[in-house]
Structure 1
Amino acid sequence: MGHTGVRTVCAGRTEQVVRAPRAVRAYGWRAGATVGTVERMERTKAQASRRAPAADPVAGGAPAGRASGPGGFRYSAADEEKRRGVRRMKTLATCLLLAVALVYALAKWAGAAGAGGWTGFVAAAAEAGMVGALADWFAVTALFKRPLGLPIPHTAIIPTKKDQLGQSLGDFVGENFLSGEVVRRRLRSVGIGARLGRWLAEPHNADRVTAELSAALRGALTVLRDSDVQAVVGEAITRRADAQEIAPGLGALLEKVVAEGGHTRLVDLVCARAHDWLVEHGDSVMAAVSGGAPGWTPRFVDRKVGDRVYKELLRFVTEMRDMPEHPARGAVDRFLKDFAGDLRTDPGTREKVERLKSEVLGRGEVQDLIASAWGAVRAMIVAAAEDERSELRLRVRAALLSLGQRLAADGRLQGKVDGWLEGAATYVVTTYQGEITSLITDTVAGWDAEHTSKKIEAHIGRDLQFIRINGTVVGALAGLCIYAVTQAF
């Protein structure tokens, strides 16, 4: 039997046959595979075809020569190298067993030929070494499959107990890693607040965070549809304006403006513009006054009256413009004060303001103006986020640097940040502990038993073969000691 045949028998017929071409599989089955083995391989293949998509080299599938198992397993080049290391260690342990068996046979033959008493010691050591090697071979093999295919109880532990192992692993992680006290203690020992402060205090880190925030802001504004945001903004403004009475607030604002003299500039502007308009349109004013006179009055009288009215009106506006203490200005101040008081206390005035507010908000032009405001704000924010020297990005960068410096130096602020993070992490692990651990158990439950066994064996099988080697050596030493003690007594 060649090397391939030995590997098929010793390392597992199923693996070798599944990886072989179709014709070779058919030949191997006819050559002596049992009916149960064939059916088991077919079931495994069917499960793999249902759970894992076909590998396509063009689309990035698994390359030829790599086994891809269901449940997310894919044998990479590193896995294949580990499996070759496992096979080398299996060969070494098996050769050691054969060597011990050969020593045992030679020692027995030499003892029968009268070579001396030393042959008994060698035979006892070799015999115990064989026993230890076989016992450890059975123990290691029983983890991954049934030794020699025999249905011995409590063998093939990983394939048959896979789901229970996943449940136990999930419970272990939940109890020892996802408890609130463990999370708090670990985060407290890390000192995230101080580390975050020192990290943010570095200018290049602040620049990086600013760039990431700008990219996230641009992405969010790009994803949002303008029509949706405009509808939300318009509805929010309208609803808030309808729900809140504006007259008292306007009255309080007007009282403050009048008390501080903020309205005087507006009065100055109105008086100046009125004076300029009268100077420029004097003929129109006189024509308007003359046109309103009775028809029976003489025309020259109408012109005299219009001229007189125009001059008096121009004089009044000029005096009001040039005299801050003009009585008309005082009348304006008193009117504004009274109107501000009515806005705050008079029910009639407040009702009229509310009606006017509703009429203004209900107009289509106003709604279009509110909706179009989002477009302007969005364009302004996107432009500021894209410009590295914009005021927005410069202020964000300065705020991050300031925050980092405060965090690095202020122990009280560090404690607050650590407390917030500990509380958030504790809430997450205590609230969603079941969901987190179920991710482990459900993932393990979805793995194929045979591929799970092969994957685990590829990673830890090489170390397990040392158990067989150690069992051979320790068994031989124990057998030698027992035989020596027996002979001594």
Structure 2
Amino acid sequence: MDGTNPADGTAPPLTAFAYTAEDEERRRGVRRMKTMATCLLLLVAVVYTLATWAKSAGVSGWPGYVAAAAEAGMVGALADWFAVTALFRRPLGLPIPHTAIIPTKKDQLGESLGAFVGENFLSSGVVRTRLHALNIAGRLGTWLAEPAHADRVTAELATALRGALTVLRDADVQAVVGEAITRRAEAAEVAPGLGKTLDRIVTDGAHRRAVDLICARAHDWLVLHGDSVMDAVQGGAPGWTPRFVDRKVGERVYKELLRFVTEMRDMPGHPARGAIDRFLTDFASDLQSDTETRTKVERLKADLLERPEIQDIIASAWSAVRGMIMSAAEDERSELRLRARASLLSLGNRLSTDPQLRAKVEGWLEDAAAYVVTTYRTEITSLISETVAAWDADQTSRKIEAHIGRDLQFIRINGTVVGALAGLLIYTVSHALGG
């Protein structure tokens, strides 16, 4: 699946994150902490009531201190209860301003979170500093220098290569390869290149082996098919010539032809060989400089490319290449895998020992990462804000409360204790100054 809507090709709407069984277990823990904080508030209230009753009953001394501490503890507990509750819902359901902050300000929080991430995590300087500190190139070099690791990477690369070749449709690749080869062949003029190659062949004398082979084959053919040659000569003679004359002429032609081919075969300095050398030299020059010759070669090339046999050969090249690559990728001892393994080991050793190469690779990685974060920072941060905006407000509030609610209930407990201590301190100081 590509994550798009099949009806119109657009991306499907983002959904809220799931509320899991683990979240429900956390909420039960939060409820236990709420009960504990509430019980502490009730305990302080009971203590305040008893201390106030004792004070009104005429007991002097300690009831005043206890009542002051309990009263301040209740205030602190209620204030912190209000603050904690206001994060997730409206206290007592009352429409008090600036309460139920998470449900009502969820979208703004998502935008602020995205902006915060973009400014503090997706900046070029931060990414470069972090990558530089990680020393990725050095670690990679040390890891790849181990033969076992190089074998593992080679095997993974071979598997990935086989997978990619399996997924590709042969017909599509053949069409692309055929079109690419044909377009390249049509765009490039072949005559000058052929001329230079032919000129080097003639200069090096490499063509003489081909001439030797042709002369030897021609001599052997003439020896075996002498009657055919003589019959062909006699068949082309005029009808008014006597038969024995035709036969004599045929024999003479055959003998001269055989002698000529034999001399060419056995004499490296034969004049005909020199003529062939001059012809090939002139033809090589014409291929490079003669406009008419080059034009004829281009027409011949175009005619050849249009022939279905040539197109079939070009298209079938992919099948041959694919088969060779698949076979090499599957064979652990193939030249492809051995060379890949050797290259990985060499790269690992160089990265481990060459500071300049490490610095160069680090620079490439830093440049690539910096480009990604600077180019796509808006898309990344918008993903955060859009994802948060798609969450259901009540479910989001419940999930966040399940994760951080226990710590927030400790705030209520701490508020009760700190409030009581502060109240006791204030009462003691006031009483001392007043008395």
TM-score between the two structures when normalised by the length of structure 2: 0.91
Matching of residues 74-473 of structure 1 within 5 Å: 74-473=18-417
Superposed CA deviations along residues 64-89 of structure 1, whole A, max 9, x for unmatched, are: xxxxxx93322223212211211111
Whichever residue aligns with residue 51 of structure 2, its letter is A
Superposed CA deviations along residues 441-463 of structure 1, whole A, max 9, x for unmatched, are: 11111111111111111111101
Whichever residue aligns with residue 308 of structure 1, its letter is R
Whichever residue aligns with residue 258 of structure 2, its letter is L
Cα distance in 2 for partners of 1:259, 1:134 equals 104
> Looking at both structures, which has the greater relative contact order when contacts are Cα pairs under 8 Å and sequence separation is at least 6?
2
Cα distance in 1 for partners of 2:418, 2:329 equals 71
Q: CA deviation at 1:138?
A: 1.0
Structure 2 runs not aligned, ≥5 long? 1-13
Whichever residue aligns with residue 223 of structure 1, its letter is V
Q: CA deviation at 1:386?
A: 2.5
Cα distance in 2 for partners of 1:252, 1:338 equals 12
Q: CA deviation at 1:316?
A: 2.4
Q: CA deviation at 1:290?
A: 3.0
Give 2:420's aligned residue: 476
Whichever residue aligns with residue 313 of structure 2, its letter is L
Q: Which moved more, 1:473-482 or 1:328-337?
A: 328-337
Q: CA deviation at 1:170?
A: 0.8
The percentage of counterpart residues that share the same residue type is 76
Cα distance in 1 for partners of 2:259, 2:351 equals 67
Q: CA deviation at 1:296?
A: 4.2
Q: CA deviation at 1:108?
A: 2.2
Give 1:42's aligned residue: none
Whichever residue aligns with residue 331 of structure 2, its letter is D
Superposed CA deviations along residues 382-429 of structure 1, whole A, max 9, x for unmatched, are: 222233322222222222222222222221121221112211211111
Q: Which moved more, 1:215-224 or 1:350-359?
A: 215-224
Superposed CA deviations along residues 298-357 of structure 1, whole A, max 9, x for unmatched, are: 434433333333233223222322332332222211111111011111122112111211
Whichever residue aligns with residue 55 of structure 2, its letter is G
Superposed CA deviations along residues 120-144 of structure 1, whole A, max 9, x for unmatched, are: 1111111111111111111111111
Cα distance in 1 for partners of 2:165, 2:348 equals 27
Superposed CA deviations along residues 179-218 of structure 1, whole A, max 9, x for unmatched, are: 1111112112222222222222222332232233223323
Whichever residue aligns with residue 96 of structure 1, its letter is L
Structure 1 runs not aligned, ≥5 long? 1-69
Given that residues 16 and 392 in structure 2 are in contact (C-alpha distance below 8 angstroms), is that contact kept between their aligned partners in structure 1? no
Give the total of aligned pairs.
Answer: 420
Q: CA deviation at 1:381?
A: 2.0
Given that residues 19 and 395 in structure 2 are in contact (C-alpha distance below 8 angstroms), is that contact kept between their aligned partners in structure 1? no
What root-mean-square deviation, in Å, do the aligned CA atoms of Structure 1 and Structure 2 show? 1.8
Cα distance in 2 for partners of 1:278, 1:157 equals 105
Q: SS in structure 2 opposite 1:154?
A: coil
Whichever residue aligns with residue 299 of structure 1, its letter is R
Cα distance in 2 for partners of 1:407, 1:268 equals 55
Q: Which moved more, 1:150-159 or 1:220-229?
A: 220-229
Q: CA deviation at 1:437?
A: 0.5
Q: SS in structure 2 opposite 1:451?
A: helix
Q: CA deviation at 1:278?
A: 1.4
Cα distance in 2 for partners of 1:483, 1:244 equals 99
Cα distance in 2 for partners of 1:379, 1:124 equals 90
Cα distance in 1 for partners of 2:388, 2:56 equals 57
Given that residues 199 and 284 in structure 2 are in contact (C-alpha distance below 8 angstroms), is that contact kept between their aligned partners in structure 1? yes
Cα distance in 2 for partners of 1:167, 1:348 equals 71
Superposed CA deviations along residues 263-291 of structure 1, whole A, max 9, x for unmatched, are: 12211211121121112112212222333
